Structure 1
Amino acid sequence: MAISFDKALGVHPHAMLIRSQRAELLASNIANADTPGYKAKDIDFAQALKAAKSGQQRGNNMVRTDENHIRGGSQLTGGAELFRNPNQADTGDGNSVDVQVERNLYVQNSLEYQASLQFLSGKFKGLKKALGGQG
């Protein structure tokens, strides 16, 4: 009997990928806090997770010249990347990044990533036990 890892692991691998991409986006927002005209971006997690579960990942794919080459490119979050509505009035340079908000969101995202990582770890321990290994 074959094991379906999609069923066994649930939503957590998809959630971790999206959380990882969100961390990069939030870090980019923080890094560009002083860049004139930079607009803060975020990911619509629910929309990205729905796209990931349905296999509708979008992104750029690298062209392979041989079937044995590793697939490359990025798996973006299915159009779930959005500009954030600023909490403060325009400061005159067109930048919409609020560093405190971005840092708080980054920490929250990190905690949620760790939670998914712990859930996945528990799933793998359960699978190992079910397959007759030591728990």
Structure 2
Amino acid sequence: MAISFDAALGIHEDALLHRARRAEVLANNIANADTPNFKAKDITFSQALNSASDTMSIKQVATSPGHQTALLDPGMAADMMFRIPTQASVDGNTVEVQQEMARYTENALGYQASFEFLNKKFTGLKSAIKGE
């Protein structure tokens, strides 16, 4: 019987890749905190997973008409958006360092969780192959 790794690993492989990509975007925001007119970007995790896994049944649903839509730049990926700052900066920079660091930490925890889930999937596959 053939093993389908997509089915065996589930969503965790895509989640790990998107968490790594989001970490790069957030680190770039933090690095450019003092750059005039720099616009902070972010990747919406649910949209990234939806676009990566069309076969999955998990989809983002707007539960309130007050939800904001993403401000997309035509040159960016569909899952990336500019962040709207809570307080505008005089120099046009939209990076709020404390919030970026909090998002980075939250993303790192999600990355670790995805990694552990993926590791357990591989451990289970290894046990199945060995017949344990």
TM-score, normalised on structure 2? 0.81
Partner of 1:20: 20
Paired position in structure 2 for 1:2: 2
Aligned equivalents of 1:36 and 1:19: distance in 2? 27
Counterpart among 76, 94, 101 of residue 103 in structure 1: 101
Partner residue, 1:116: 114
Which string of whole-angstrom CA distances, capped at 9 and with x for unpartnered residues, describes residues 83-134 of structure 1?
011011x221000100000000000000000000000000000000011166
> In 1, distance between residues paired with 2:77 and 2:35?
27
- The runs of 5 or more residues in structure 2 that have no matched partner are 56-75
Could you state the TM-score of these two structures normalised by the residue count of structure 1? 0.79
1:73-92 correspondence to structure 2 within 5 Å? 78-88=77-87, 90-92=88-90
2:130 alignment partner, SS class: coil
- Specify the alignment match of 2:71 in structure 1: none
Unaligned 5+ runs, structure 1:
56-76
Cα distance in 1, alignment partners of residues 23 and 33 from structure 2: 15
Query: Runs of at least 4 residues of structure 1 off by over 2 A?
Result: none
Cα RMSD of the aligned pairs, angstroms, is 1.6
Task: Give the number of aligned pairs.
Answer: 112
Inter-partner Cα distance in structure 1 for 2:85 and 2:79? 18
User: Partner amino acid for 1:45?
Assistant: F
Amino acid at match of 1:119: F
Q: Are residues 17 and 41 of structure 1, via their aligned partners in 2, closer, same or farther at CA, if it must alter by over 3 Å?
A: same
Higher RCO, Cα 8 Å, sep 6+? 2
Using the aligned pairs only, state the percent identity.
Answer: 56
